[in-house]
């Protein structure tokens, strides 16, 4: 939006707010876009003088723009209050001298019902009263849709594998033909074993942990188990970056090659052949840089029965939404991707935007773990 499209009636306060926006790397373009939004929603009140609530709304919109520019999608009420008080003190806006109580009133839905609405509203800004978070409407819709897809994936009814087949597969990969690290057979701790057991009983699994916590070991065991159960005949591997995708493929391949007598184990040999490539999520989803569009979606879905994604904690909300849509086939002749396994480290979470889907997934994965734990007492003692 060019400045020429905005009436040239900026008062001293607006000029100072514009300069603040420039100093915060928002630029004049976003300032005028925010100003136009306020004026378009209040067409009869073009002048800001003596209307402190309009300045408050303008700064709220600019702070939301700043959050999105920094990779987040919302701002909490407390963060807004603190930021506004700081901006007000810095700029000495006249005649503004708003207390936190004044601000809470100005940004409430009852007072700002011309700009801010509850979830589901058609207004430009959304306030989720349960969380105290403010969003642009499109960002709230994206987050809400992503949460719905996560819940849908977590609650997909799955065919529980035959227990005898499950026990035989576990014995095969853990006792008879284990993965080896420096010639030492892999041994899982109880928490890792629970994650492995959960994978057979759920459509969604999240493995969270930092370096050295055994994510690679449990991932290889998981792939081997699901392959023996007929649940990983067409696996796909991906990660947010090419480096992470390459590292994951190399680690899994090396682990599989450590198994003794690999050539005689059809399931493991086929698994190694099936995971010859690992790719970035953008490549997996058919991203076209020139058009800025993804080719994969629910009507042009991924063709796989298992999707394994590394560094999932670094996936932003928009990309997670695209990934979940591409897994959710709506074609009558092609089933959705049956299992999603995400590897991540919650300590690497960027603020809010990328973290939100990972946290939602963690909540669902924890619920699934609790349900799976109830079945563990039926396992053979040697496992």
Residue at 147 is within a domain: no
Give the residue from 136, 168, 198 where a domain finishes. 136
Single out the residue in 102, 136, 170 at which a domain terminates.
Answer: 136
pLDDT at 2 over 60: no
Q: How far is CA 204 from CA 116, 156, 200, 359, in A?
A: 35, 9, 10, 13
Asked if residue 170 lies in contact with residue 225, where contact means CB atoms within 8 angstroms, the answer is: yes
Question: Quick check: is 142 in a domain?
Answer: no
What is the rounded distance in angstroms from the CA atom of residue 105 to the CA atom of residue 219? 51
- Return d(Cα 159, Cα 335) in angstroms, integer: 14
Q: Is residue 148 part of a domain?
A: no
Lowest mean pLDDT among 9-23, 42-56, 112-126: 42-56
Q: How confident is the model at residue 369 (pLDDT cuts 50, 70, 90)?
A: very low
Please count the CA atoms within 13 angstroms of the CA of 197 that sit on its side-chain side: 23
| Spatial CA neighbour of 177 closest among 264, 250, 253 | 264
* 144 belongs to a structural domain: no
- Whether 297 and 373 map to the same domain: the answer is yes
% of the chain residues with pLDDT over 70: 84
The verdict on 330 and 185 lying in the same domain is yes
* Residues 131 and 194 grouped into a single domain: no
Q: Quick check: 154 and 368 in contact, CB under 8 A?
A: yes
| pLDDT score at 194 | 81
Q: How many domains, the chain? A: 2
pLDDT band with cut points at 50, 70 and 90 for residue 87 = very high
Share of the chain above pLDDT 90, in %: 56
Instruction: Decide if pLDDT at 361 tops 70.
Output: no
Among 2-6, 8-12, 322-326, the range scoring the smallest mean pLDDT is 2-6
326 with 186, same domain: the answer is: yes
CA 164 to chain centre: 36
- For residue 54, pLDDT over 90 is answered with no
Domain-embedded: residue 150:
no
Pair 64, 122 in one domain:
yes
What φ, ψ does residue 28 adopt, rounded to 5°?
Answer: -65, -30
pLDDT in tens, 267-325: 999 999 999 889 999 999 999 998 889 999 999 999 999 999 999 888 888 999 999 99
Q: What is the pLDDT of residues 203-250, one digit of tens each?
A: 888 887 777 677 888 899 999 999 999 999 999 999 999 999 999 999
pLDDT score recorded for residue 348 = 57
Instruction: Judge if 159 and 130 occupy the same domain.
Output: no
Looking at the chain, list the stretches that DSSP marks H as alpha helix, in order from N- to C-terminal side.
12-23, 27-41, 52-69, 77-91, 100-106, 137-154, 163-171, 190-199, 215-228, 242-257, 266-274, 281-284, 317-327, 355-373
Res. 45 pLDDT band, cuts 50 70 90: low
DSSP one-letter string for 314-339: G--HHHHHHHHHHHS---TTSPPP-E
Residue 171 and residue 373: Cα distance in Å, rounded? Answer: 18
CATH number of the domain that residue 215 is part of: 3.40.50.300
Asked whether residue 209 falls in the same domain as residue 246, the answer is: yes
| 359, 284: one domain | yes
- Give the domain extent around 312: 155-378
The answer to whether residues 166 and 233 belong to one domain is yes
* pLDDT tens-digit series, residues 169-206: 999 999 999 999 888 898 888 878 887 888 888 888 88
- Joined together, the tokens standing for residue 37 give 């939004």
Q: Residue 346 pLDDT more than 70?
A: no
Looking at the fold, whether 128 and 208 belong to one and the same domain comes out as: no
**pTM higher than the cut 0.95:** no
Residue ending a domain, choose from 101, 136, 171: 136
What is the residue-averaged pLDDT of the chain? 85
Same domain? For 99 and 167 the reply is no
Residue 74 and residue 105 in one domain: yes
Is residue 132 in a domain? yes
Q: Model confidence at 351, in pLDDT bands (50, 70, 90)? A: very low
Two tokens at 285? 């989803």
Residue 111: its H or E element: none
pLDDT for 208 equals: 77
Instruction: Say which residue, 161 or 368, is predicted with more confidence.
Output: 161
Q: Are 31 and 21 in contact (CB under 8 A)?
A: yes
**Mean pLDDT lowest for which of 121-125, 183-187, 365-369?**
365-369
């Amino acid at each position: 939006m060019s400045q020429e499209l905005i009436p040239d009636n900026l008062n001293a306060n607006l000029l100072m707010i514009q300069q603040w926006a420039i100093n915060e790397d928002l630029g004049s373009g976003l300032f005028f876009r925010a100003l136009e939004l306020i004026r378009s929603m209040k067409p009869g009140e073009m002048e800001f003088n003596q209307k402190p609530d309009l300045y408050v709304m303008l700064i709220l919109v600019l702070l939301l723009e700043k959050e999105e520019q920094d990779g987040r999608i919302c701002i909490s009420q407390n963060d807004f209050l603190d930021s506004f008080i700081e901006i007000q003190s810095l700029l000495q806006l006249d005649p503004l001298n708003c207390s936190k109580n004044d601000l809470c009133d100005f940004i409430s839905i009852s007072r700002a019902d011309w700009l801010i609405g509850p979830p589901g509203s058609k207004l430009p800004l959304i306030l989720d009263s349960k969380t105290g978070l403010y969003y642009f409407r499109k960002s709230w819709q994206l987050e809400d849709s992503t949460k719905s897809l996560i819940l849908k994936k977590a609650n997909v009814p799955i065919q529980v594998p035959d227990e005898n087949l499950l026990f035989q597969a576990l014995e095969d990969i853990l006792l008879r033909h284990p993965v080896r690290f420096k010639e030492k057979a892999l041994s899982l701790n109880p928490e890792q074993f629970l994650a492995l057991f959960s994978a057979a009983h759920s459509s969604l699994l999240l493995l969270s942990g930092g370096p050295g916590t055994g994510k690679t070991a449990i991932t290889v065991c998981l792939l081997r188990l699901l392959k023996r159960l007929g649940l990983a005949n067409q696996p796909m591997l991906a990660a947010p970056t090419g480096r992470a995708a390459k590292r994951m493929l190399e680690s899994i391949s090396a682990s599989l090659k450590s198994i003794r007598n690999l050539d005689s184990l059809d399931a493991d040999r086929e698994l190694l052949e099936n995971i010859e490539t690992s790719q970035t999520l953008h490549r997996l989803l058919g991203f076209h840089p020139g058009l800025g569009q993804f080719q994969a979606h629910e009507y042009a879905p991924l063709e796989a029965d298992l999707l394994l994604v590394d560094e999932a904690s670094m996936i932003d909300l928009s990309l997670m939404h695209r990934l979940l849509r591409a897994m959710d086939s709506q074609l009558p002749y092609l089933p959705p991707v049956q299992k999603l396994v995400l590897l991540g480290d919650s300590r690497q979470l960027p603020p809010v935007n990328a973290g939100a889907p990972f946290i939602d997934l963690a909540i669902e994965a924890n619920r699934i773990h609790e349900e799976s734990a109830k079945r563990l007492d039926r396992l053979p003692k040697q496992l």
